[in-house]
Structure formats: structure tokens, C-alpha cells
Amino acid sequence: MKRKLLTASLFMLSAAMLGMSGTTFADDDDKGGGFMSRWFGGNKPGVAPVTNPQYLEECGSCHFPYQPGLLPARSWTRIMATLDNHFGENAELPAEDARMIKDYLLKNSADGSGYKRSVKIMNSLRSGDTPLRISKTPYFLKKHGELRPEMVVSNPKVGSFSNCSACHTQAAKGSFSEKEILIPNFGAWEEDDD
Ligand code: HEC
Ligand code: HEC
């Protein structure tokens, strides 16, 4: 029994180390990925699309209905506990609706997801981090660091990094691939290979 446990933890350790190097050469959904990214980077591209009609209705009325796989469960728990003061708005829901939506979010959160972008977001967080915004996670900041303010905050057709679907034309399907990006007034994003 003891021996089995030790073997298992050695395997996990080497898997974690391999996983880290795996992320550096297979970061783009379009590039296939191969064995390393399938095992260690999440085997499905993008994030799981939203399937819950109630979530789409209640949490998609003011903004893009962010997929549950974009944040860890602990973030959703905190967001659902503070809906009365939600980024300066009151987004409170009847208790029963809130309970069902929270349940849906927690069951489909980024923790333990096999989707690539969920894995990347989780890997960028420390275990105690509880971001309330996807757009403040280290992975998001790294990916969007090259965007100039005139493309986002001072772009009347975008306004904020929270407006995912303004630039990611297939965001509603859970797909954020670079070749699908179209920044209003600026056009397609030039892909680079690093
Ligand atoms: C009354 C309007 C309203 C409703 C309803 C609403 N939100 Fe929001 N939400 C906002 C505003 C405003 C922001 C901040 C947007 C910005 O900074 O541009 C926001 C931001 C967010 C963000 C952070 C986005 C980022 O920048 O990464 C998350 C996550 C979020 N909302 C989740 C939810 C969930 C889950 C629900 C449903 C329970 C919900 N929202 C319902 C108004 C709303
Ligand atoms: C102003 C336009 C814009 C907005 C708004 C925006 N993005 Fe992006 N996003 C981009 C661009 C451009 C890239 C590619 C950056 C690069 O790799 O050089 C990108 C990259 C990404 C990637 C990595 C894709 C890949 O194949 O590497 C993900 C995931 C992503 N965005 C998710 C989001 C989410 C989720 C939101 C909303 C919370 C969002 N983005 C809001 C423009 C935007």
C-alpha cells in the first residue's frame, strides 16, 4: 500500500514537471498540440460551452455569459455570494434561481476541467487566489498584454476587457482561437508563432 502511494506520487510529480514544459510549445488551439498537450494541457480546445438556459438568461442579460470553465469554483462561490454588490450593480436573484445557477457554475468550473483554456487559467493561479474577474487572472493578462487602450477601453465598440464577444467572434461557442479574433475598427489579429 505504502509503496503504491509512493509510485503514484512520483508519477504525479514527473507529470507536473513534464506538464510545465509542455505548455511552452503547444499553447495555441490551432496548432494541434500532440501527446504532451493532450495529457497535460487539457485535451479539448477552448472552454466548455454554456448549456444551461437559465444561466444564459440570468447571467447573460448585462454582459457576455462567461463560461463556468473560465474561473475556479472558489471564484464563482464568491461572485454568487456578493450579487447585491456586483461590480457596482445589483445583480441579486431569487434564492432558488441563485442556488441552481451556483450549482451549475460549481459543477462546471475550471477546476478539474479537461478543456485547454480552463487548464491554462487554473495553472496561472496560486492555490489561494480567488479572482472575481477572468480579465484579472494572470493567464488572461499575459494573453492580452499587447492590446493597446484604443483597441479596448477607448474603443466605443468594445469598452472593456470584460466584453469577450466583441473581439472573439466564436466566444459563445467556447472558442477563443486566434484566427477567429476580429477587433472592431482594427480587424483581424495577426498571429505570431511564439
Ligand atoms: C445587472 C447587470 C448584471 C447582471 C444581471 C450580471 N452581471 Fe456580471 N457584471 C456586471 C458588470 C457591470 C460587470 C463589470 C463589467 C466591466 O467591467 O466592463 C460584470 C462583470 C462580471 C464578471 C467579471 C468579468 C471579467 O472582467 O472577467 C463576472 C465573472 C460576472 N460578471 C459574472 C456574472 C454572473 C455569474 C451573473 C449571474 C449570476 C452576472 N454576472 C450577472 C453586471 C451584471
Ligand atoms: C479587445 C479585444 C479582446 C477582448 C475584449 C478580449 N480578448 Fe481575448 N484575445 C484578444 C487577442 C487579440 C488575443 C490574442 C493575443 C495574442 O496571443 O497575441 C486574445 C487571446 C485570448 C485567449 C488565448 C487564445 C489563444 O489561442 O492563445 C483567450 C483564452 C482569450 N483571449 C479569452 C478572452 C476572454 C475570456 C475574454 C473576456 C473576459 C477576452 N478574451 C476578451 C482580444 C480580446
User: For residue range 139-185, what is the model confidence (pLDDT) as tens digits?
Assistant: 999 999 999 999 999 999 999 999 999 999 999 999 999 999 999 99
The ligand 1 site (C-beta within 6 Å) comprises 58-59, 61-63, 66, 79, 83, 86-87, 89, 91, 101, 133-135, 160-162
What is the grid cell recorded at 136?
484579472
Which residue type is seen at 58? Answer: E
pTM comes to 0.86
Q: Is the CB of 36 under 6 A from ligand 2?
A: no
Sequence-ordered alpha helix ranges (H) in the chain = 2-25, 35-40, 53-59, 73-81, 95-107, 116-124, 138-144, 164-167
Q: Bridge partners of 89?
A: 86
Mean per-residue pLDDT for 106-118? 96
Helix or strand holding residue 89 (H, E): none
pLDDT at 43: 87
**Each residue of 2-31: pLDDT tens digit?**
444 444 454 454 544 444 444 433 455 544
pLDDT at 33: 42
54: CA distance to ligand 2 center in Å? 26
Helices then strands, each counted (H, E), the chain: 8, 2
